[in-house]
């Protein structure tokens, strides 16, 4: 079995070798730019890994793996416009470096380039794989819209939130594994189980991200602790707290949500204290753990030698930091 | 042979019956909204007509025809953002009625819905038809980018302009006919010839539009005569004039291009006078006629009974008003 890190390197090389037309420059330069910003190339590496796991020829999975990476970067380019984000991986975003029109149109053609790359599969897999790709793309768009909707609402239910993060981030992980599995020769049942592994793990990973934002070790987390609290982001923790608070604590929480000019440390400490009082960390940890367990149950059910599955267990362990 | 008008009506009914999910409402409502604005449904009707022409089952072409219409409306939704257009078919545009983020994301999912609809073809046609669809989508994006680029340039060559209008508007007409022909059972050669007919006719139609803007009968043209002149739009006429003018007339033309606050009638009359002096109308008419001829030559070469081709000749005649 190939190691994930080797597959990530292979994909990084292949991404660098992707060719696009020279003109119109403002259509294709932004694609090269955003793809060159790097990133861990986890999603395309999962396509290759799933193919490898079932004994398939990894070279046959390279173009679909690139499709997943190009698609993912298309969503980043358009999300950055919608989120008004100035930076992506420490570099200026496309709509800031060029302009919004360029980022819209360049993103559009990137989605099409994703479809072109995804079509490089054997004939008998073309329809099923394109269907997975369509469902994935629809899911990510729905997830992004729900995410934007939730920022305007104060009555978001936990189930809605979990569905949103599933659509926005987890579906692509599941689809990457399913597509790779099918190319590797997996039957439908095993491909579905692997997809389920990826999707549940994706939800768990996002819940972990919510927890780490408040309770993570600043040295290891790599982001500012409390960033979600400061931006009033509707995370699992905030939604659960709003759901649980009696009127007294609710008033407290709403006080801290209402303003934007509180001293940062004061706000983070105060909201964290409310979370602590309501035992939110435990609720979040349990929800996360439920999804980790669902992921491993799915992986256990895949019909493959234990050794082959080991790479995915290592991958899952590397995602879940277990320090909370 | 079915009449084009009947096929347009059939498609109008089918568009009304398209179903989209209820949630997220801001993702799917704009799709229903823009599709309900109407339009002549020419592109999807051409898919059906080409299928019918080759004796195919028109019902098999309905979903791909809808794909073309949904795709076309996706391009309108995103173009309207880029062009900052307040109105589309007399109604408020999506980015004005909702907001830009909604128009971006709703457009994205519309492109994916187009792919979903396009996949409803027999297995042996799936790959070739998806390839045509990919090329079409890339072409339209390239055309839109060139169009935006040209607005910032004063050295656009006529060949570049023709290529831009081919990509931006003609390619879809050609692809609609080619896809319909393939579904109808046409061989590759005939499908290509029909595509060529559509593409050349599309270029001719756009050139006619440039001419009519200046020389059209206001009662029949339906738009304000001189609109392109007032907005300094880089049409065939303006590009040709900039190419032909000696330094004297060029200075005159550049004077009228430099300001935005001239009295409208004065500017239209003055620029039209320069066009007349340079015989621009004749150049444009000849270019247009070259493409009409190319279109009919392609149609002549299609191996089908003359009666079957008649519907396409009637269609071509209906597009070209011959009043200039």
Tell me: do A131 and A226 sit in the same domain.
Answer: no
What mean pLDDT, rounded, does chain A reach? 94
Is there a contact between B138 and A82 if contact means CB atoms under 8 Å apart? no
Q: What is the pLDDT of residues B199-231, one digit of tens each?
A: 999 999 999 999 999 998 877 766 677 889 998
Domain boundary among B166, B186, B206: B186
Contacts from B9-17 at CB under 8 Å and sequence distance 24+? Answer: B10/B45, B10/B48, B10/B58, B10/B62, B11/B41, B11/B44, B11/B45, B11/B48, B11/B62, B11/B65, B11/B66, B11/B69, B12/B38, B12/B41, B14/B62, B14/B65, B14/B66, B15/B41, B15/B44, B15/B66, B15/B69
Tell me: do B95 and B235 sit in the same domain.
Answer: no
* Structural domain contains residue A178: no
Smallest Cα–Cα separation from A137: which of A161, A110, A159, A158?
A110
pLDDT higher than threshold 70 for residue A154? yes
Q: Is A312 exposed, middle or buried (0-12, 13-18, 19+ CB in 10 A)?
A: buried
Interface membership of B142 toward A (CB under 8 Å): yes
Q: How many Cα atoms occupy the beta-carbon half-sphere of B56 within 13 Å?
A: 25
From chain B residues 81-100, the ones with a CB under 8 A of any chain A CB are 81-82, 100
* Structural domain contains residue A113: yes
Residues of A in contact with B148 (CB under 8 A): 26, 101, 105
Task: Give the pLDDT of residue A261.
Answer: 85
Element containing residue A132 per DSSP (H, E): helix A123-151
Q: What is the mean pLDDT of residues A208-237?
A: 86
Distance from CA of A36 to the nearest CA of B (A): 21
pLDDT higher than threshold 60 for residue B324? no
pLDDT-derived band at B2, boundaries 50, 70, 90: confident
Task: Give the pLDDT of residue B318.
Answer: 87
Tell me: do A114 and A193 sit in the same domain.
Answer: no
* Structural domain contains residue A230: yes
A59 vs A184: CA distance, rounded Å: 10
A243 vs A234: CA distance, rounded Å: 12
Interface membership of B122 toward A (CB under 8 Å): no
Task: Give the pLDDT of residue A8.
Answer: 95
Interface membership of A149 toward B (CB under 8 Å): yes
* Structural domain contains residue A22: yes
Q: What is the pLDDT of residues A303-312, one digit of tens each?
A: 999 999 998 9
From chain B residues 27-56, the ones with a CB under 8 A of any chain A CB are 27
Task: Give the pLDDT of residue A223.
Answer: 67
Tell me: do B141 and B240 sit in the same domain.
Answer: no
* Structural domain contains residue A214: yes
pLDDT higher than threshold 50 for residue B75? yes
Interface membership of A177 toward B (CB under 8 Å): no
B98 vs B91: CA distance, rounded Å: 13
Tell me: do B132 and B9 sit in the same domain.
Answer: yes
List alpha helices for chain B, DSSP H: 4-16, 25-35, 42-53, 62-82, 94-97, 100-118, 123-151, 158-165, 171-183, 188-215, 218-221, 227-230, 236-244, 247-258, 264-278, 280-301, 306-319
Domain boundary among A105, A138, A171: A138
Is there a contact between B24 and A127 if contact means CB atoms under 8 Å apart? no
Residue in chain A lying closest to B147 (CA): A24
Residues of B in contact with A134 (CB under 8 A): 112, 115-116, 119
Residue in chain B lying closest to A119 (CA): B127
Residues of B in contact with A116 (CB under 8 A): 134, 138
Is there a contact between B130 and A115 if contact means CB atoms under 8 Å apart? yes
Q: What is the pLDDT of residues A312-322, one digit of tens each?
A: 999 999 888 75
Tell me: do B237 and B316 sit in the same domain.
Answer: yes
Contacts from B85-92 at CB under 8 Å and sequence distance 24+? Answer: B88/B34, B88/B37, B89/B37, B89/B38, B89/B39, B91/B37
Interface membership of B267 toward A (CB under 8 Å): no
Residue in chain B lying closest to A26 (CA): B145
**Residue of B24, B142, B145 lying closest to A145 (CB–CB):** B24
Q: What is the mean pLDDT of residues B282-287?
A: 97
Q: What is the pLDDT of residues B166-193, one digit of tens each?
A: 999 999 999 999 999 999 999 999 999 9
Q: What is the pLDDT of residues A15-31, one digit of tens each?
A: 999 999 999 999 999 99
Report CA torsion sign: A178, A180, A181, A187.
positive
Cβ neighbours for A318, distance < 8 A, ≥ 6 positions apart: A4
Is there a contact between B112 and A134 if contact means CB atoms under 8 Å apart? yes
Is there a contact between A111 and B109 if contact means CB atoms under 8 Å apart? no
Tell me: do A6 and A120 sit in the same domain.
Answer: yes
Residue in chain A lying closest to B106 (CA): A141
Tell me: do A7 and A110 sit in the same domain.
Answer: yes
Domain that holds residue B127: 1-186
A103 vs A309: CA distance, rounded Å: 40
Domain boundary among B186, B211, B243: B186
Task: Give the pLDDT of residue A324.
Answer: 43
Residue in chain B lying closest to A167 (CA): B24
* Structural domain contains residue A83: yes
Q: What is the mean pLDDT of residues B96-114?
A: 98
* Structural domain contains residue A93: yes
Interface test with B, best of A73, A112, A127 (most B CBs within 10 A): A112
Is there a contact between A105 and B149 if contact means CB atoms under 8 Å apart? no
- Say what the pTM is: 0.96
Task: Give the pLDDT of residue B1.
Answer: 80
A143 vs A137: CA distance, rounded Å: 10
Is there a contact between A144 and B105 if contact means CB atoms under 8 Å apart? yes
Percent of chain B with pLDDT over 90: 84
B110 vs A107: CA distance, rounded Å: 14
Is there a contact between A24 and B146 if contact means CB atoms under 8 Å apart? yes
Q: What is the pLDDT of residues A107-137, one digit of tens each?
A: 999 999 999 999 999 999 999 999 999 999 9
Distance from CA of A104 to the nearest CA of B (A): 7
In this complex, how many residue pairs, one in chain A and one in chain B, have their CB atoms less than 8 Å apart?
A: 108
What mean pLDDT, rounded, does chain B reach? 94
Distance from CA of B112 to the nearest CA of A (A): 6
- CATH number for the domain spanning A254: value is 1.10.600.10
**Residue of B26, B115, B146 lying closest to A134 (CB–CB):** B115
Tell me: do B240 and B156 sit in the same domain.
Answer: no
* Structural domain contains residue A123: yes
Residue in chain A lying closest to B117 (CA): A134
Tell me: do A134 and A192 sit in the same domain.
Answer: no
Is there a contact between B134 and A119 if contact means CB atoms under 8 Å apart? yes
pLDDT higher than threshold 70 for residue B323? no
Please tell me the total count of domains within chain A. Answer: 2
Task: Give the pLDDT of residue B223.
Answer: 67
SS3 at position B91: strand
pLDDT higher than threshold 50 for residue A39? yes
Task: Give the pLDDT of residue B221.
Answer: 62
pLDDT-derived band at A217, boundaries 50, 70, 90: confident
Tell me: do B6 and B139 sit in the same domain.
Answer: yes
Task: Give the pLDDT of residue B321.
Answer: 73
Q: What is the pLDDT of residues A70-95, one digit of tens each?
A: 999 999 999 999 999 999 999 999 99
Q: What share of chain A is helix, strand, coil (3-state, %, to 5)?
A: 75, 0, 25
CA B99 to the chain's CA centroid: 25
Tell me: do B69 and B200 sit in the same domain.
Answer: no
Task: Give the pLDDT of residue A271.
Answer: 95
């Amino acid at each position: 079995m190939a190691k994930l890190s080797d597959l990530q390197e292979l994909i990084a090389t292949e991404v660098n070798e992707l060719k696009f037309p020279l003109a119109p420059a403002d259509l294709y330069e932004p694609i090269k730019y955003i793809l060159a910003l790097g990133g861990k190339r986890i999603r395309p590496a999962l396509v290759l890994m799933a193919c490898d796991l079932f004994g398939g020829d990894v070279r046959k999975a390279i173009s679909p793996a690139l499709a997943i990476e190009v698609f993912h970067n298309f969503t980043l380019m358009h999300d950055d416009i919608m989120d008004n984000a100035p930076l992506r991986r420490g570099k200026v975003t496309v709509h800031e470096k060029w302009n919004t029109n360029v980022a819209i149109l360049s993103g559009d053609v990137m989605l099409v380039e994703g479809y072109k790359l995804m079509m490089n599969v054997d004939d008998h897999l073309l329809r099923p794989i394109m269907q997975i790709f369509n469902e994935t793309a629809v899911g990510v768009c729905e997830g992004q819209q729900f995410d934007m909707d939730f920022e305007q609402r104060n009555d978001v239910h936990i189930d809605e939130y979990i569905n949103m993060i599933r659509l926005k981030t987890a579906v692509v992980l599941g689809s990457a594994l399913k597509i790779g599995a099918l190319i590797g020769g997996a039957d439908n049942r095993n491909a579905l189980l692997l997809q389920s592994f990826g999707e549940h793990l994706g939800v768990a990973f996002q819940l972990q991200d919510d927890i780490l934002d408040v309770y993570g070790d600043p040295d290891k987390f790599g982001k500012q602790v409390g960033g979600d609290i400061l931006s009033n982001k509707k995370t699992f923790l905030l939604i659960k707290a709003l759901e649980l608070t009696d009127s007294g604590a609710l008033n407290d929480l709403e006080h801290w949500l209402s303003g934007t000019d509180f001293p940062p440390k004061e706000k983070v400490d105060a909201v964290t204290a409310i979370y602590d009082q309501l035992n939110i960390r435990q609720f979040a940890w349990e929800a996360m753990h439920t999804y980790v367990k669902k992921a491993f149950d799915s992986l256990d059910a895949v019909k493959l030698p234990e050794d082959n599955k080991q790479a995915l267990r290592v991958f899952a362990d590397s995602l879940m930091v277990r320090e909370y």
